[in-house]
Amino acid sequence: MSETIFTNGIKAEGPFVLSIATPFFRNDPSVLLESLSGQMAGQAVELILVDDGSGDPSLTAKLEALLHGLTVPASLISLHHNQGRSAARNRLIAAAQAPVILFLDSDMAPDTASFVSDWLALARDPEMEIAYGGFSTLQIADCAALALAKLVAEKSDCASASERQERGALAVATSNLMVRKAILDETPFDSGFSGWGWEDVDWALRADAKGHRVRHVDIPATHLGLDDAATLLDKFAKAGPNFRKMVERHPTMATLPGTKLARMLARLPARSWIKSMVKALVLSEALPLALRAQGARLWRALWAADALS
């Protein structure tokens, strides 16, 4: 067998309206489960987790115990080998029994007590096809190690629904995303993406090209899993090949400021030397945080430039 399936044995009293779907890999989604527990009680929802090959029996046992304590049907699908972010989400789609799926990353936490009910109300809207709720840093405590990632997120990702709506599909992330299952069955995630980043925007742009428009709403959750500066830079560096795939596949990527900057930087010599200088700047906690954040964005563009060239 390539996977193991655990269910908590709770039977639904009627048809599901919403499947809450969470993938994870070597990350403990317990905080998310605990924050959702009371909100899901008595609602027409199911919860599905996919462990993408963590191989951690103690984590599996902990999650099975948490699922046993829920009052809604819940299951944990443990893949025996890591298959990647897109493949894990496609497994969630296959398992979902509701006509609408809410993807929530395992390191998210709802910002309001009405989070689930707000999504359920939108799921019952027959006009809703794709909706992105956005994310915040509201529940992130002040911490020097995470200060850079928090500022970068606030500047680039924590936008209001009206601001995100102007960007449409380009502003989508699967961290807090609701989609009709029929659309996902027709347009699954591309498992050809490897490493970190962009597979969610790729999916949104492909769905948009088929006429499925994104509705941006303010139903935010906090991204608890912020990285320290070194880890953040490592992820940005690894996103380069996926960025190139996006630019080659989607002409609309050319309009992004980051793409324009990467193409300009691709013409520069000595990018390796520039990267070493930028990395030192970003990792120096003695420098102003705003300057380090600018450096992090330049670092990301430099690796994107490498991929394009």
User: Each residue of 118-152: pLDDT tens digit?
Assistant: 999 999 999 999 999 999 999 998 889 999 999 99
CB 274 within 8 A of CB 210: no
Predicted pLDDT at 195 = 76
Which residues of the chain form beta strands (DSSP E)?
Answer: 3-7, 18-24, 45-51, 74-79, 100-104, 108-110, 130-132, 135-136, 176-180, 214-216, 221-223
Question: Is residue 165 within a helix (H) or strand (E), and if so which, with residue range?
Answer: helix 161-167
CA distance 34 to 153: 24
Give me the pLDDT at residue 294, please.
96
Give pLDDT tens digits along the chain (309 positions).
599 999 999 998 889 999 999 999 999 999 999 999 999 999 999 999 999 999 999 999 999 999 999 999 999 999 999 999 999 999 999 999 999 999 999 999 999 999 999 999 999 999 999 999 999 999 998 889 999 999 999 998 899 999 999 999 999 999 999 999 999 999 999 998 887 889 999 999 999 999 999 999 999 999 998 999 999 999 999 999 999 999 999 999 998 899 999 999 999 988 999 999 999 999 999 999 999 999 999 999 999 999 998
Domains along the chain with CATH numbers: 3-226 (3.90.550.10), 228-309 (no CATH)
Asked whether the whole model's pTM tops 0.85, one would answer yes
For 104, list phi and psi in degrees, rounded to 5. -130, 125
| pLDDT of res. 1 | 56
- From first CA to last CA, the distance across the chain in angstroms is 42
CA dist 292 and 278 (Å) reads: 9
Q: What distance in Å separates the CA atoms of residue 19 and residue 33, rounded to the nearest whole number?
A: 14
